[in-house]
Amino acid sequence: MTLRLTDDEADALRRQAEREDRSMQEVVREAVREYVERRTHSARVDEALHVLAPRCANLLDRLGKA
C-alpha cells in the first residue's frame, strides 16, 4: 500500500510524530486503528438503534412528553 499525502498533511504528520517521539508510520498506523474502531463502534450503535427504536417507540414517545 502506498499512502500519498499532500505536502501540508506530510508536514503536519512529521511534526506530530516528532512531538510524540515516534515514527510517522507509527502515528499513521495508530490513527488507522482508531478510525476503524470508531467506525465499527458507530456502525454497531446504529444497528442497535435500528433494532431497539421500534421496540421502544412507546417508551421514547412518553419520555419525550415528560
pTM over 0.85: no
Could you give the dihedral angle defined by the CA atoms of residues 20, 21, 27 and 31, in that order, rounded to the nearest 10 degrees? -20
Q: What is the percent of the chain where pLDDT is above 90?
A: 56
pLDDT tens by residue, 6-18: 999 999 999 999 9
pLDDT tens by residue, 25-46: 999 999 999 999 998 988 888 8
Q: Do residues 20 and 27 touch, judged by C-beta distance below 8 A?
A: yes
- Which residues contact residue 21 at a Cβ distance below 8 angstroms, ignoring those fewer than 6 apart? none
14-21: list long-range contacts, CB under 8 Å, 24+ apart: none
